[in-house]
């Protein structure tokens, strides 16, 4: 995967042709990390 600058908010995967959103991915990663610690994570 090529280097993406931090101001790139969306990018298209050349393999799967899907448009990805960095903010949505970051939110999913934070939720996954919280759940891994067994914390009560609200989906608010």
Tens digit of each residue's pLDDT (9 = 90 or more) over 8-30: 898 888 899 999 998 998 999 98
Cα 39 to Cα 5: distance, rounded to the nearest angstrom: 32
Cα 39 to Cα 26: distance, rounded to the nearest angstrom: 18
Q: How confident is the model at residue 33 (pLDDT cuts 50, 70, 90)?
A: confident
Task: For residue 29, give both structure tokens.
Answer: 């990663």
Residue with tokens 């448009």: 19
pTM: 0.59
Cα 44 to Cα 35: distance, rounded to the nearest angstrom: 14
């Amino acid at each position: 995967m090529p280097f993406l600058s931090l101001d790139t908010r969306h990018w298209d995967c050349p393999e799967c042709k899907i448009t990805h959103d960095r903010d949505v991915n970051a939110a999913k990663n934070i939720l996954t990390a919280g759940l891994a610690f067994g914390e009560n994570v609200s989906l608010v």
